[in-house]
Amino acid sequence: MSSKTSAQEVIKAARSLEAETVEMRRYFHEHPELSFHEKETARVVEDKLSALGYKTTKGVGKTGVLGDLNTGKGPGQGTVTVAIRADMDGLPVQEVNETKFVSKNEGVSHACGHDGHMASALTAAKLIAQGKIGDLSELGGSIRMVMQPAEEFGDEEGKSGAYRMLEDNALDGCSAIIGLHMDASLPAGKVGIIPGPIMAAADSFVITILGKGGHGAYPETAIDAVVIGAQVVQAIQSIVSRRISALDPAIVTIGSFHSSSTRGNVISESVRLEGTFRTFNQQVREHIIAELERACSLARVLGGDFKIEYELGYPTTVNDPEVTEIMRQAAIDLIGAENVIAIQPKTWSEDFSMFAEKIPGAFMFLGAEIKGSTREHHSATFDLDESGLYIGPAVLAETARRLVGHYKAKK
């Protein structure tokens, strides 16, 4: 098949593999594995890529898999490698659905759509390997499948799968990276994509307010950590409304408030607050950290003290404008402009962001809403409408082809 393969031929080829894509998604859904425990998942992925002619590397980023399809340099100097990423891990959530493909692993489920991500990526890998998008060798292109472990949770050092794969040089030689996320709130058959920040940085904190314990009958002899903590919470809740510009989206949430006292007549000597904040640029991220410190300083004004600990999570996922436009146009050509949505940025967080900091990247959302029964991500009833699943492989494969040509032209 020529490198001039039309978008109509690509979408037709993806449709011809639709049943196989759905079958793969359901297999992975039945057999979920937790972060950095994706051994059987990785084996299946590696077997499928090897069978398609990809040179595979196992154990990348602990339990990840790379698959390289080297198609030759073609005309000009050097080859261009484009990476396609999919995450493989499930969540510690007990599924309660009654489908035929319900999770067989007790207490674990694909409650976020990673089963769909793997199925989409592997079908894209097949479309490319079998020349369904044209002959990449004519363009001088290579493809790297980045099958990533542990997007949901980090290891004992708090490092996620993307971080660990980067430590193992998973993107060396790659010009760009693309990926997708299933979206159970976007209608099936639609694709959502925008340039710039598309998902938030997600960070967490623990604040300990220190006072002086005492008897509830003599509050004047104590320094009540609960009272101080309540005022600190109020101050924190005004950070976004009064200290951050309305033009900069941000969220600060206190999700837990625990006192050292468990009795009504005992004044607490300490309280523990746990929370999260989500931002879309580094300046706002740093501003919120400074404002949290300022809010907590109330404890000292009121006679107590505080300490605050941060766990900085994934950075903001930022879509490279150039790569995003190529992906957006590919999607338009495949499924029509009316089905390609300029969605609002999501306050979810994704470690694809780490890859997109390393090289230009674009991340899209693939609609999978079950009409009349929207399923929440990370919930026990999470599920997908599979009717638009074939679109994911088509967009990934066609975007990869166009990116090869785009970067080859720059060499």
Report CA-CA distances (Å) from 132 to 2, 18, 85, 136, 253: 9, 14, 19, 10, 48
Nearest to 127 by CA among 117, 118, 135: 135
Q: Across-strand partners of 223?
A: 212
* DSSP at 375: P
Q: Across-strand partners of 257?
A: 273
φ, ψ of residue 216 in degrees (nearest 5): -60, -20
Catalytic residue among 38, 115, 151, 398: 151
Contacts of 129 (CB under 8 A, 6+ apart): 52, 53, 54, 69
**Residues 33 and 105 sit within 8 Å (Cβ to Cβ):** yes
Separation between Cα atoms, residue 368 and residue 259, nearest integer Å: 42
Say how far residue 87 (Cα) sits from the centre of its chain: 8
Residue in the structure block whose two tokens are 């159970």: 184
Nearest to 160 by CA among 57, 89, 112: 89
φ, ψ of residue 124 in degrees (nearest 5): -60, -45
Q: Which amino acid is at 124?
A: A
Paired tokens of 31:
């057999």
* Residue 106 is among the residues annotated as catalytic for this protein: no
Give the sign of the dihedral formed by CA 71, CA 74, CA 78, CA 79.
Answer: negative
Catalytic residue among 30, 38, 87, 89: 89
Report CA-CA distances (Å) from 29 to 35, 108, 115, 116, 394: 15, 10, 6, 8, 21
**Residues 160 and 315 sit within 8 Å (Cβ to Cβ):** no
* Residue 89 is among the residues annotated as catalytic for this protein: yes
Give the sign of the dihedral formed by CA 156, CA 377, CA 353, CA 145.
Answer: positive
Active-site annotation, residues: 89, 151
